[in-house]
Amino acid sequence: MKGIIIIGHGSRNKEAQSQFIQVVDKVREKTQLVVEGAFMELAEPGFFDVIKKLEDMGIIEITVYPLFLFSGVHINEDIPQMIGEAEQKHPGIMFRMLEPIGVREELINIVVNSIKE
């Protein structure tokens, strides 16, 4: 079985946490896949807790989608390091990480439409 972890930075702000979870829930609804949200820090559930949850569900392949706009330290160093640690702790699970949102036409359209409103 395959699972997806959407990972965000995390915030102490409850509204920010709620918005992140809303995105995760909507992705799960639209894809009908096993999708869970995790935070790097400052909020729960944490990344490693979600991996354990997926493992308990019988997931053997996890795709990690970083819900970040652009590459930076978290994308280039922190999340890959967390995945490496997870690979050591969970050798029966295969992990892969997707790229952040980046410069995409859809993002440009969102910005342009927001400015025009």
Mean pLDDT computed over every residue of the chain: 98
Supply the range of the domain harboring residue 96.
2-116
For the chain, the domain total comes to: 1
d(Cα 70, Cα 76) in Å, to the nearest integer? Answer: 10
d(Cα 31, Cα 18) in Å, to the nearest integer? Answer: 20
CATH number at residue 34: 3.40.50.1400
Q: Give the whole-number percent of the chain exceeding pLDDT 90.
A: 100
- Tens digit of pLDDT for each residue in 62-95? 999 999 999 999 999 999 999 999 999 999 999 9
Position 36 scores a pLDDT of 99
d(Cα 92, Cα 98) in Å, to the nearest integer? Answer: 20
Phi and psi at 65, nearest 5°, equal -110, 110
Model pTM?
0.94
